[in-house]
Chains A and B, each alone.
Chain A
Amino acid sequence: MSSVPSRSQSRLAPQYSWRESLTQWFTEWGDVVVDAVTTLGDMAIFAGRMFVWMFTAKPCKGTILPNFYHVGVLSLPVVALTGTFIGMVLAVTSIGQFRTIGMESKLGAVINYSLVRELGPVLAATMLAGRVGSAMAAVLGTMRVTEQIDALISMGANPIHYLVVPRFLACILLIPALTVMADFMGIVGGYFYSVVMLGIDHYQYLNNSRQFVGGFDFFSGIFKSFFFGGTIAVVSCYRGFHCQAGAEGVGRAATAAFVFSFVLILGLDLMLSIFLDAVYTSFWPHGAKLF
């Protein structure tokens, strides 16, 4: 019998010892970690260059208004609609539990507190990342692939100054407005469903809300939204600038922009919530308690 392996055998994966497999596993994960750290470092440098341009030169003519319109005006309807639904959904899902313990009147406080503190800013940021962030990555990616960014540079325009700074300003300055809209529409939606559909007392609903949802809660939501807006702009523009060639590259950049922004938004949300809670407790140790 011939000792030469057949063609199909030669295609089989080689057999590794456990030591080789372990080394390979560490190598692969090492590559992943190195890639992640490199990307984060690269993104930090990108953000640093953007801040330098933002504070040292006026934004380019004609780039501010279109970006503000795209980020702010065109995002308002979708943020308002999803905000309304979220308010209603909170009422639908919470009413059962609150009825069991006989505290339906406190429903308004829970809905409005969740909305103003967490759901409003996160929802507005998610909508912005999905609607605007992906589009930014796709537009800048296409510009990269079709050499439009190279053309900008060759004509003496800095692409970070020309393309990234206006997008960053639009995101960071308009996301608070979108958050206010999400909060407001969520509150309206929650009120409508609770009072009109579920028949909870109008006075109790509003009075409890007023008692437990304060200015600091509203402020903390708005404060967080600035970070979310900045993150969306930096991540999306970075992904667009570092887009791989071809249609698939642009698609990947758009997807990566949304996924990475969303993960960072949730991570930031956790950290900022812990920070803001610590701030609140140190200033108002006997603040309002729901139960």
Chain B
Amino acid sequence: MTNVDELATDIARARPVAKPLIELRNMTLQFAKQTILSNINLTIPRGQTVAIIGESGCGKTMLLKSVVGLMTPTEGAMLYDGVDIHSLGDVEMTKLRCKFGFVFQNAALFDSMTIGQNVAFPVVQHNLANGRSIDRMVIEGLAEVGLPEIVLHKRPSQLSGGMRKRVGIARALILQPDLMLYDEPTTGLDPIMSDVINELMLRTRLKGKVTSLIVTHDMRTARKVADRVVMLYPHSRLARSENQVIYDGPPEGLDTTKDKRVRQFVEGEAGERLMELQRSSLSGFEETPRLSDTYRA
């Protein structure tokens, strides 16, 4: 080893290692004996935007919900800033959740409230402001996602899907969280509205040092917004001892990866998958009643 190499190693050792914001350690999640997630190990540094992609049913949303403690893993741990969140009590967990912003797939706005009340909910719930300052925060929050004041007194059912999603983003951002989680933010939206949501996610990331986890099927979103892409593969179709994370790298690497499954997903090709699905459905045909019998019943 030359002196220069030794010096470089010494410098690397001396540099403080930044603690990751999120760390999943051997996380396994099972439902009624069915394994959804198996031995997931993932480390996400502060400020990074990670897109989680994968087929429907591979456990992406479950992973996202485990991160905020909506699901409790069967095994393993989920560390937020070095603390295992599943070991926290109700009060500590409630405080910690102020640092999270969650955008649900269908926005999950409260039907019984107006848009203004929906956006103000986290502030009111934690008594972080009152009266006029709440109004100001709500109006600013809505303006940030491009919604006019006029929607304040409307109900969620009176808004379009894209508007509801933007309200969901405004609600998630109102407490200026350290961690943003998006569950399929562009699903069901037209291409232009999808791009508006992508831009909003980008703007959020650039505005503050927000760490983001985005679950998506939309490769445009993954390529445009993410620093890193993680692809999960359904546990039921994995070979024994194979890792469920089949890709973990930059979005540019998706085009050059050698893994056929990743390329197939990225290019949106059914390939042998269609044959597989037909085979698996036919294998159960003898045991299942005929559809016509079911209709008659």
Question: Chain A: residues with CB nearer than 8 A to chain B?
Answer: 10-11, 60-61, 142-143, 146-148, 150-151, 153-158
Q: B106 contacts A146, CB within 8 Å?
A: yes
Q: A154 contacts B90, CB within 8 Å?
A: no
Chain B contact-residue range equals 20 to 34
Residues in A with CB closer than 8 Å to B109 are: 148, 151
Closest 5 CB pairs of A and B: A156-B97, A151-B108, A154-B102, A147-B108, A156-B94
Q: A153 contacts B70, CB within 8 Å?
A: yes
**B122 close to chain A: CB less than 8 A:** yes
Q: Give Cα A147–Cα B106 distance, bound, in whole angstroms.
A: 8
Q: B104 contacts A157, CB within 8 Å?
A: no
Q: Give Cα A150–Cα B111 distance, bound, in whole angstroms.
A: 14
Residues in B with CB closer than 8 Å to A150 are: 65, 70, 102, 104, 108
**B5 close to chain A: CB less than 8 A:** no
Partner of B98, one of A10, A147, A156: A156
Partner of A158, one of B70, B90, B98, B105: B90
A279 to chain B, nearest CB (A): 40
**B95 close to chain A: CB less than 8 A:** yes
Q: A148 contacts B97, CB within 8 Å?
A: no
**B247 close to chain A: CB less than 8 A:** no
Chain B residue nearest to A139 in the complex (CB): B112
Chain B residue nearest to A10 in the complex (CB): B286
Q: B70 contacts A154, CB within 8 Å?
A: yes
Residues in A with CB closer than 8 Å to B97 are: 153-156
Enumerate B111-131 residues with CB–CB distance to A below 8 Å. Answer: 111, 121-122, 124-126
Chain A residue nearest to B113 in the complex (CB): A62
Given contacts A151-B104, A157-B121, 8 further A-B contacts (CB under 8 A): A60-B125, A143-B110, A146-B106, A147-B106, A150-B102, A151-B108, A154-B97, A155-B121
Residues in B with CB closer than 8 Å to A10 are: 286
Question: Chain B: residues with CB nearer than 8 A to chain A?
Answer: 65, 68-70, 90, 93-95, 97-98, 100, 102, 104-106, 108-111, 121-122, 124-126, 171, 286, 289
Partner of A146, one of B94, B100, B108: B108
Q: Give Cα A155–Cα B100 distance, bound, in whole angstroms.
A: 8
Residues in A with CB closer than 8 Å to B110 are: 143, 148, 151
Residues in B with CB closer than 8 Å to A11 are: 289
Q: B90 contacts A156, CB within 8 Å?
A: no
Q: Give Cα A150–Cα B69 distance, bound, in whole angstroms.
A: 10
Contact A148/B94 with A154-B68, A156-B122 known, Cβ cut-off 8 Å: no
Q: B125 contacts A154, CB within 8 Å?
A: no
Q: B122 contacts A147, CB within 8 Å?
A: no
Residues in A with CB closer than 8 Å to B111 are: 142, 148
Contact A156/B95 with A150-B70, A151-B102 known, Cβ cut-off 8 Å: yes
B212 to chain A, nearest CB (A): 15
A186 to chain B, nearest CB (A): 34
User: For A143, A148, A150, A155, which residue has the most chain B Cβ atoms within 10 angstroms?
Assistant: A155
Residues in A with CB closer than 8 Å to B126 are: 156
Partner of A155, one of B69, B105, B125: B125
Chain A residue nearest to B68 in the complex (CB): A154
Q: Give Cα A26–Cα B286 distance, bound, in whole angstroms.
A: 28
Q: Give Cα A159–Cα B58 distance, bound, in whole angstroms.
A: 28
Residues in A with CB closer than 8 Å to B69 are: 153
Q: B108 contacts A155, CB within 8 Å?
A: no
Contact A156/B125 with A10-B286, A150-B70, A151-B110 known, Cβ cut-off 8 Å: yes
Residues in A with CB closer than 8 Å to B124 are: 61
A42 to chain B, nearest CB (A): 15
Q: Give Cα A61–Cα B125 distance, bound, in whole angstroms.
A: 8
Residues in B with CB closer than 8 Å to A60 are: 125
Q: Give Cα A277–Cα B108 distance, bound, in whole angstroms.
A: 51
A159 to chain B, nearest CB (A): 11
Residues in B with CB closer than 8 Å to A142 are: 111
Residues in B with CB closer than 8 Å to A153 are: 69-70, 97
Q: A147 contacts B94, CB within 8 Å?
A: no
User: For A60, A146, A150, A154, which residue has the most chain B Cβ atoms within 10 angstroms?
Assistant: A154
Residues in B with CB closer than 8 Å to A148 are: 108-111
Q: B106 contacts A154, CB within 8 Å?
A: no
Residues in B with CB closer than 8 Å to A156 are: 93-95, 97-98, 122, 125-126
B213 to chain A, nearest CB (A): 13
Q: Give Cα A148–Cα B111 distance, bound, in whole angstroms.
A: 9
Chain A residue nearest to B105 in the complex (CB): A147
